[in-house]
Amino acid sequence: MPRARTAELLKQAYEAGDRDAALALLEQSMALGHRRIALLRYLQARHLHAPLETRHHDYVREVAARMSPATLTRLVGEARMRAARSTPAPDVKAKTQATTQAKPKAARSSDWPIEDRA
């Protein structure tokens, strides 16, 4: 994928809250064998309620299992900061508001949804 297309997808995913763009970025990272970037993109896609598949979860679970707890914590913190700066799409914003009213925000990186971490 050309850099210009990647830059366009990044803008769509983070500034416009486009979950399809976030998913396309994750797919690109998986195809290229990225680890750190794939984890960040997975968390953004999940934040935007992108339609993630089992293979996405499996890939990131494997990536996370190979990271030290300190590295994983740092990356999850980075993803949270990026998500806080992004603007979710209108349908995601409504879902997020309903969810946040129902339960408090995750206070620790261990509260973020990466299943079966080592």
pLDDT of residue 32: 96
In a domain, 93, yes or no: yes
DSSP state, 33? T
The count of domains in the chain is: 1
Paired tokens of 42 = 């997975």
pLDDT one-digit tens code per residue, 38-66: 999 999 999 999 999 999 999 999 999 99
Domain coverage including residue 53: 3-111
Residue 117 lies in a domain: no
**How far, in Å, CA of 74 to CA of 64, rounded?**
12
Rounded to the nearest integer, the mean pLDDT of the chain is: 82
Rounded to whole angstroms, what are the CA distances from 62 to 6, 29, 38, 83, 113? 24, 14, 11, 22, 14
Q: Mean pLDDT across the stretch 65-69?
A: 95
Residue 12 lies in a domain: yes
Round to whole Å and give the CA distance between 71 and 28.
Answer: 22
Q: Is the pLDDT of residue 104 over 50?
A: no
Q: What is the pTM of this model?
A: 0.72
62 part of a folded domain: yes
Residue 85 — very low, low, confident or very high, per pLDDT cuts 50/70/90?
Answer: confident
Domain assignment present for 21: yes
> What is the average per-residue pLDDT within 13-28?
94
